[in-house]
């Protein structure tokens, strides 16, 4: 498969899936390899034949939609965001919960992949927040549309390279050597509940104090779908709760209900 042919297919197909080509530009090779394998499985000669198949078989669009899910993540990805969460956001949420006698902070990791993000949150809470607020715990709902990724999260063993941004002290405390990589210790897994969920459908039952929706909706979805997702996220956030998006992502212009406080971090108004 030529790269130019895959680009042309994606530029034609993505808008029909309410996805946007600019989000895929840098990560397209992962998607193109999947499409190439799909064509081989179907016995198709080239992408022109696959495009013809899409035009003739509407059910193939759901298959292509699944092929277009980018699965790239790391623990503590974009450390500057995590540093702010640890220094300011998480302590504030713990302090506010304690002030009203609420013993738990609720968080939702939307598009959790293989668990790198929600497990980072659990590690950060236990090692950096819980020592100061021992009476306040955290509950994390971690959702993804990709069942294979959720299965990997349930195993909780990761290649060493995915831990490269994690502070060394956290890595030593949270991981042990497993058969297939670095295994997350059990005590950092119990606070995270994994669930299958498509971000384009109704959100899990809130309210939440913290929602992380990073490098997903506001990178890959088209503007109309981004606005729909933003409204859904706001609907399950406490007033004063926090939405975290990707470091290089922005909410669509004019989206109501959020006040941007720093790169990637928005307070629910």
CATH number at residue 190: 3.40.50.150
pLDDT band at 222 (very low <50, low <70, confident <90, very high): very high
- 178, 155 Cβ separation under 8 angstroms: no
pLDDT at 188: 97
Domain count along the chain? 2
Question: pTM for this structure?
Answer: 0.95
**Does residue 159 register a pLDDT over 90?**
yes
Pairing mode, strands 237-244 and 258-262: unpaired
Are 136 and 13 members of one domain?
A: no
Are 198 and 229 members of one domain?
A: yes
Are 231 and 192 members of one domain?
A: yes
pLDDT band at 251 (very low <50, low <70, confident <90, very high): very high
Are 126 and 150 members of one domain?
A: yes
**Does residue 249 register a pLDDT over 90?**
yes
**Does residue 180 register a pLDDT over 90?**
no
At 66-95, the pLDDT tens digits run: 999 998 899 999 999 999 999 999 999 999
**Does residue 262 register a pLDDT over 90?**
no
pLDDT band at 208 (very low <50, low <70, confident <90, very high): very high
What residues make up the domain containing 37?
A: 3-67
Overall average pLDDT of the 195-213 stretch:
97
In a domain, 19, yes or no: yes
- 175, 184 Cβ separation under 8 angstroms: yes
Nearest to 184 by CA among 212, 214, 153, 161: 153
Are 105 and 44 members of one domain?
A: no
Are 125 and 238 members of one domain?
A: yes
At 121-143, the pLDDT tens digits run: 999 999 999 999 999 999 999 99
The three-state DSSP-derived secondary structure of the chain is CCHHHHHHHHHHHHHHHCECHHHHCCCHHHHHHHHHHHHHHHCCCCHHHHHHHHHHCCCHHHHHHHHCCCCCCCCCCCHHHHHHHHHHHHHHHHHHHHHCCCCEEEEEEECCCCCHHHHHHHHHHHHHHCCCCCCCEEEEEEEECCHHHHHHHHHCEECHHHHCCCCHHHHHHHEEECCCCEEECHHHCCCEEEEECCCCCCCCCCCEEEEECCCCHHHHECHHHHHHHHHHHHHCEEEEEEEECCCCCCCCCCCCCEEEEECCEEEEC
Are 30 and 111 members of one domain?
A: no
pLDDT at 263: 84
Overall average pLDDT of the 50-55 stretch:
97
Are 32 and 134 members of one domain?
A: no
pLDDT at 1: 79
């Amino acid at each position: 498969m030529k790269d130019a042919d895959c680009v042309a297919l994606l530029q034609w197909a993505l808008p029909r899936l309410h996805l946007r080509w600019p989000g895929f530009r840098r990560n397209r090779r992962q998607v193109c390899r999947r499409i190439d394998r799909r064509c081989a499985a179907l016995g198709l000669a080239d992408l022109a034949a696959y495009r013809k198949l899409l035009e003739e078989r509407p059910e193939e669009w759901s298959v292509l939609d699944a092929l277009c899910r980018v699965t790239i993540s790391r623990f503590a990805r974009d450390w500057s965001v995590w540093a702010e969460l640890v220094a300011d956001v998480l302590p504030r949420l713990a302090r506010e919960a304690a002030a009203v006698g609420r013993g738990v902070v609720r968080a939702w990791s939307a598009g959790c992949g293989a668990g790198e993000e929600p497990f980072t949150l659990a590690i950060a809470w236990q090692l950096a927040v819980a020592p100061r607020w021992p009476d306040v715990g955290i509950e994390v709902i971690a959702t993804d549309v990709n069942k294979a990724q959720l299965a990997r999260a349930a195993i909780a063993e990761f290649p060493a390279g995915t831990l490269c941004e994690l502070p060394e002290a956290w890595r030593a405390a949270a991981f042990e050597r497993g058969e297939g990589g670095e295994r997350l210790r059990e005590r950092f897994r119990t606070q995270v509940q994994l669930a299958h969920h498509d971000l384009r459908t109704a959100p899990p039952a809130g309210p939440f104090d913290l929602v992380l929706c990073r490098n997903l909706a506001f990178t890959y979805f088209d503007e109309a779908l981004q606005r729909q997702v933003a409204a859904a996220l706001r609907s399950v956030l406490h007033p004063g709760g926090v939405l975290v998006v990707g470091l290089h992502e922005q909410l669509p212009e004019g989206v109501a209900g959020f006040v941007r406080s720093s790169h990637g971090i928005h307070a629910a108004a």
